[in-house]
Amino acid sequence: MLKFVRVASIGIGLCAAIAACGRTSPAEHVRRAEAYAAKKDFANAIVEYRSALQQDPKLGTARLRLGDIYAQISDGQNAYREYVRAADTMPDNIDAQLKAGALLLLSNQYAEAKTRAEAVLRMSPRHPGALTLLGNALAGLNDTDGALERLNEAILSDPSQGSLYSNLGVLQLARGDRQMAEASFKKATHAMPDRAEPRVALAHFLRSQGRDAEAEQVLREAITIDPKSVQANSNLAELYLTTGRSLLAEAPLKAIADARQDPESLFALADYYSRTKRTKEAAAILDKLAATSQTYGLAKARLAAIDYTEGRGDEAHKILDELLRREPHNRLGLVLKGRLLLIEKKPEEALDFAKRAVASDPEHSADSHYLLAMVYQNRGQVEESEMEFKQTLKVAPTSAGAAVALSQLYSAKNKKTAAVEFAEQAVKLAPNSVETRVTLVRAVLATGDTARADREIRAMLAQFPSSAAVQVQAGALFIARKDIVAARAAFTRALELEPGSADALTGLVALDLGSNSVRAALDRLNAYLVKSPNDAGGWFLAAKAYTMVGEELQAERALMKTIQLDPGRVQAFAMLGNLHASRGKLDIALQQFQNWATREPKSIAAQTMVGLTLERLNRVPEAKLAYERLLAADRHAAIAANNLAWLYAETGGNIDQATDLAQMAKSQAPDQPAFNDTLGWIYYKKDLVEQAVPLLKQSLEKDPDNALTHYHLGMAYAKAGEDSKAIEELKKALALDPKLYTADEARRTLKELQI
């Protein structure tokens, strides 16, 4: 036996030796990688470099060259990782330290970039590149004086480097020294007459000063110097796009792609074609890019986006599912899949993809955090949503969308000062965006500062005279100031600019109804519905108007049409129920709805009406069964989920199950007051008053005369120890409805609070 073991061990040793002899050495992998890179076969070069590093992770030069390849193919995330590792492996390599520092700078890691610059300066005290890196890092750390000092040192060290003047110009502009900044940008062009980059920097400056014509001329000069310059061509294309000359943008983008045929330029051209609705040309480019393993994921995600925007949702999901099977951690694919599911009102499914996207790159992926924030917001998880929006801004401080979302979130929580601050931040980040400016006006109006709102609106009307959204907001301001004539003019202008504007129509109808011009409102609505017969909002407004004039049959018809088009519109169901109740025909109505449900067993509206009518008849166990059956068939039936959650919470059911149902309902319609009230009340019952109060306040913003919600908010304030606010809300509840079924509890609580 011992002899056998000995022979076996010799055999194993021999096999290992043979395997070692047959293994390719790290040096050979590097040699092959360099050969592939020379031929621009980057995919194989990456494979060889990675094979070398797998065997010897401390091969710093291999890491540095691998980082260069990733930079060439615009894979910033991997370039960043390899440059930093190369710099750590080779602390005395100036090139590695500067490249790592540059990417640290781009990812807003200013302190780390400063450390890399200082490491180089210890080796080479007057190194211009290190001084420039240090200056930019100090600027990022808000040490403008230190930054200017370092850049001036760099210029003294090497006056021929025009890029230093451009950097200096940026800092001078930040300090408000426009004349000095312009002089520095122009010095850069003189120092580097044969380079495009300084002219691009000068063009940026000119555009920031509103001098687009001069910027265009400078960019044309840059392209004359270097026809293949990505920066110059892309900036000229962007100028054309933002000044309404999209056809002219094709030439510079195509020039880059034709000359370079690299992924960056091809993606830029494909994105241009997608942006200008030339999706066939975009798809042709993306199909070619998808054929290469290195660009497969980015290309496939863009192809899926094209399919989805053109109404081919199933095909888009198919592409993304294939992409994620092949690349499970592809961040862009995960984000896009999550977005599509959110659009389709499937936040529970979207949540998984959002979390996976964040996990793929938690420190640098702003779009992943933004998606997760939106999912949480849809699920009614306000605190989690706020945290993720803030994380988005931390990762991407220039994200105007996150600032807008935070402003709206704080408005909903009635934190008016914070809402204004984030809206102001959004405007600074995107001053030419209608959305950011409208957000600011809404936040300012909420504070009661109509004078400032007026100034903002007038500035917007001058800057965006053809924006329906601005006209609608002007109408809202005029209503707040009780200037009905001006409000009507603004809403009318909005409809002229955008005939399908539901907000403008709603404003005009509200004015008609407010002045008892019900016939005028109906005529306006009927004319609108002839043109837009599938607009649920229009039919619902018509139902309200018909109800006001007592035309019950027409109101019922309009409500049924509303429900058919939008089965998630709670108010329409409630109005229809009230209509039948006012006639004293709930039993007959129940039979009609049951017949409807039998004829159309897949109709969410029919099944929902059965449950609602059973509730009105106080047949609660049957109503629960009806809602449970509906949710078993379609778990996204929002009204059924909301009402079942309420019944569970109020009749001693599973409170955690009630929470899940209420969150799901809110995710389908985040602004629905009834859903916010249900979820808020359930949080109150779970002693989560910090989460309950914002939801109840949000509900009252949309439905300020709801006595029950005022009662719920009063009870939440009482539990939170805010007695004065609790007293105010409970008194409002009783004033609005002295016969409210919770009136006795409200009076008892009021008595205790006032002792």
Domain assignment present for 552: yes
Domain assignment present for 664: yes
Domain assignment present for 649: yes
Domain assignment present for 592: yes
Angle of helix 570-583 relative to helix 673-685, nearest 10 degrees?
100
User: Does residue 699 share a domain with residue 588?
Assistant: yes
User: Does residue 699 share a domain with residue 571?
Assistant: yes
User: Does residue 641 share a domain with residue 690?
Assistant: yes
| CA gap 333, 62 in Å, rounded | 29
Residue 608 in contact with residue 570, Cβ under 8 Å? no
User: Does residue 700 share a domain with residue 576?
Assistant: yes
**Polymer length of the chain:** 755
| CA gap 720, 750 in Å, rounded | 15
pLDDT digits (tens, 9 = 90+) for 423-480: 999 888 888 788 888 899 889 988 888 888 888 888 888 878 888 888 888 888 888 7
User: Does residue 683 share a domain with residue 577?
Assistant: yes
End-of-domain residue from the set 510, 544, 562: 562
* pLDDT value, residue 16: 37
Q: Cβ–Cβ contacts within 10 Å for residue 557, how many?
A: 15
Please give the angle made by the CA atoms of 15, 21 and 27, to the nearest 5 degrees.
145
User: Does residue 691 share a domain with residue 574?
Assistant: yes
* pLDDT value, residue 15: 37
Weakly modelled stretches of the chain, pLDDT under 70: 1-23, 74, 105-108, 131-132, 135-136, 139-140, 144-177, 180-181, 184-185, 188, 208, 380, 567-570, 574
Q: Is 213 exposed, middle or buried (0-12, 13-18, 19+ CB in 10 A)?
A: exposed
End-of-domain residue from the set 534, 562, 590: 562
User: Does residue 607 share a domain with residue 544?
Assistant: no
- The one-letter amino acid at 203: A
| CA gap 579, 188 in Å, rounded | 75
State the Cα torsion 516-522-525-531 to the nearest 10°. Answer: -160
Number of domains comprising the chain = 2
Spatial neighbors of 421 by CB under 8 A, at least 6 apart, are 407
Q: Is 568 exposed, middle or buried (0-12, 13-18, 19+ CB in 10 A)?
A: buried
User: Does residue 694 share a domain with residue 669?
Assistant: yes
CATH number of the structural domain spanning residue 673: 1.25.40.10
User: Does residue 699 share a domain with residue 638?
Assistant: yes
User: Does residue 582 share a domain with residue 700?
Assistant: yes
Spatial neighbors of 413 by CB under 8 A, at least 6 apart, are 382, 694, 697, 698
| CA gap 118, 120 in Å, rounded | 5
Spatial neighbors of 128 by CB under 8 A, at least 6 apart, are 154, 157, 158, 161, 164
Q: Is 720 exposed, middle or buried (0-12, 13-18, 19+ CB in 10 A)?
A: middle
User: Does residue 533 share a domain with residue 623?
Assistant: no
Domain assignment present for 584: yes
pLDDT digits (tens, 9 = 90+) for 153-176: 655 555 555 455 555 555 555 556
Domain assignment present for 56: no
Which residue bears the tokens 């096999």? 15
* pLDDT value, residue 3: 33
User: Does residue 684 share a domain with residue 623?
Assistant: yes
Residue 492 in contact with residue 509, Cβ under 8 Å? no
Domain assignment present for 485: no
Domain assignment present for 576: yes
pTM for this predicted structure: 0.55
Residue 337 in contact with residue 357, Cβ under 8 Å? no
Task: Give me the domain span that covers residue 530.
Answer: 518-562
